[in-house]
């Protein structure tokens, strides 16, 4: 069963009046099943967050727009829904944990009020019942003494606690799909693990599908079942996480892994990603799939969009190759 399906998604940045266009995402596609964690990884600007926002129908307009592609959630074509239908699905069907919890939370309202607003939006409850449900949600995400801190403002909480409040808001409508956009950014290691353990439990215990967006290959290697590696708006490699990290095929994937401490032996140089980008290893691929003997795709200076394709490179694995 497929919970989320994205096919040939293309997103453009559009100038005033449509006078100019700049591609952001090109032909991105993947599937996510219930109870599965799929990671979108890549550098900043690779198209991860824009892909996630398009699933929610939240692309920043008028400057950014989806120009083509199909997005389906639970058999429904999300990309064709009306605004009212999208508003109903957000929260009750698809939840999202945004980056930067301090800026995502309203400083004027207490954390209890903000979670309660989501609860009452998706459940017909009295104010008293909604408050009890909010306390239960905050307890579930590990917020200490939530009943006493219900009326506290966001600035009275640490970054990790604010992130837990964001998770409570995201799951308040009992969604089947959860999107987590860099959920551990700026958190210390211990707090990161607590947040990730919580997300993992939602997937394991309730069968949620989790779309995890990250640039942290170590985190992805520990938590994700499958991974999509994005390079300049395109998928350069996709497959089971363990296989991709153990034997990366695309030079961009190798570059990401090389600049992650602990993934390879020897000294770690933070300049290796730049080296991989400037001097990619573009020799013919050697694998058991259809991509055997093809050269890996690499972004050209001319931006030719027709010079690449995603080919099978083993069971469940795909790699972008040059069509030249």
Residues 190 and 268 placed together within one structural domain of the fold: yes
d(CA 223, CA 44): 20
pLDDT of residue 98: 85
Shared domain check, 124 and 48: no
The domain boundary residue, chosen from 172, 206, 226: 172
The answer to whether residues 110 and 214 belong to one domain is no
Q: What are phi and psi of 63, to 5 degrees?
A: -75, -25
Q: Which residues lie across from 116 on neighbouring strands? A: none
Task: Please give the pLDDT value at position 142.
Answer: 87
Using the 3D structure, point to which of 172, 204, 225 is the last residue of a domain.
172
Kindly give the confidence (pLDDT) of every residue in the chain, 324 residues in length, as a single tens digit, with 9 standing for 90 and above.
799 999 999 999 998 877 778 899 999 999 999 999 999 999 888 999 999 999 998 998 888 988 899 999 999 998 888 888 888 899 889 999 987 766 788 999 999 999 999 999 888 889 999 999 999 999 988 889 999 999 999 999 988 888 889 999 999 988 999 999 988 876 778 888 888 998 999 999 989 999 999 988 888 999 999 999 999 899 999 999 999 999 999 999 988 888 777 665 555 555 566 666 777 788 899 888 899 999 999 887 555 556 889 999 988 999 999 876
The answer on 143 and 86 residing in a single domain is no
Predicted confidence at residue 32, as pLDDT, reads 97
64 shares its domain with 117: no
DSSP string, 249-281: -SHHHHHHHHTSTTSSSS---TTHHHHHHHS--
> How many contiguous H segments (helices) and E segments (strands) does the chain have?
11, 12
Q: What gap in Å lies between CA 304 and CA 25, rounded to an integer? A: 14
**150 with 186, same domain?**
no
Query: So what's the pLDDT on residue 259?
Result: 78
Instruction: Return d(Cα 6, Cα 57) in angstroms, integer.
Output: 13
Residues in CB range of 156: below 8 A, 6 or more apart: 149
Same domain, 89 and 110: no
Check residue 244 and give its pLDDT. Answer: 95
Is 106 in the same domain as 251?
no
pLDDT at position 324: 66
Same domain, 62 and 206: yes
> For residue 215, what pLDDT is reported?
84
Structural domain count of the chain: 2
E strand or H helix that includes residue 92: helix 83-92
The last residue of one of the domains, among 154, 172, 190, is: 172
Query: What is the pLDDT at residue 310?
Result: 92
CATH number at residue 29: 3.40.50.300
Q: Does 82 share its domain with 222?
A: yes
Q: What is the pLDDT of residue 271?
A: 55
Q: Which residue range is the domain that position 59 belongs to?
A: 4-93+173-322
Are 143 and 185 in a shared domain?
Answer: no
> Does residue 281 sit in the same domain as residue 239?
yes
pLDDT of residue 122: 86
- Classified as helix, coil or strand, 238 is strand
Residue 194 three-state SS: helix
């Amino acid at each position: 069963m497929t919970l989320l399906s994205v096919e040939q998604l293309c997103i453009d940045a559009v100038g005033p009046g449509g006078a100019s266009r700049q591609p952001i995402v090109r032909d991105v596609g993947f599937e996510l099943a219930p109870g599965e964690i799929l990671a979108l990884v890549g550098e900043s600007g690779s198209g991860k967050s824009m892909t996630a926002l398009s699933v929610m129908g939240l692309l920043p307009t008028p400057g950014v727009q989806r120009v083509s592609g199909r997005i389906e959630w639970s058999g429904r074509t999300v990309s064709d829904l009306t605004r009212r239908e999208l508003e109903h699905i957000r929260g009750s069907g698809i939840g999202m944990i945004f980056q930067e919890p301090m800026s995502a939370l309203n400083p004027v309202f207490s954390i209890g009020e903000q979670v309660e607003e989501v609860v009452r939006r998706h459940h017909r409850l009295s104010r008293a019942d909604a408050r009890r449900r909010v306390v239960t949600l905050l307890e579930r995400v590990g917020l200490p003494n939530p009943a006493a801190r219900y009326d506290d403002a966001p600035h009275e909480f640490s970054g990790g606690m604010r992130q837990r409040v964001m998770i409570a808001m995201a799951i308040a409508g009992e969604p089947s799909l959860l999107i987590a956009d860099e959920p551990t950014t700026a958190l210390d290691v211990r707090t990161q693990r607590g947040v990730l353990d919580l997300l993992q439990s939602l997937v394991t215990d309730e069968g949620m599908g989790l779309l995890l967006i990250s640039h942290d290959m170590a985190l992805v290697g520990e938590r994700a079942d499958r991974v999509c590696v994005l390079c300049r708006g395109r998928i350069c490699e996709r497959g089971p996480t363990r296989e991709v990290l153990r034997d990366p095929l695309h030079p961009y994937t190798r570059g990401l892994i090389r600049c992650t401490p602990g993934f390879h032996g020897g000294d770690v140089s933070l300049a290796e990603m730049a080296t991989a980008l400037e001097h990619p290893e573009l020799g013919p691929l050697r694998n058991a799939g259809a991509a055997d003997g093809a050269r890996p795709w690499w972004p050209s200076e001319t931006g030719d969009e027709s010079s690449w394709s995603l080919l099978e490179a083993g069971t469940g694995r795909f790699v972008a190759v040059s069509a030249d």
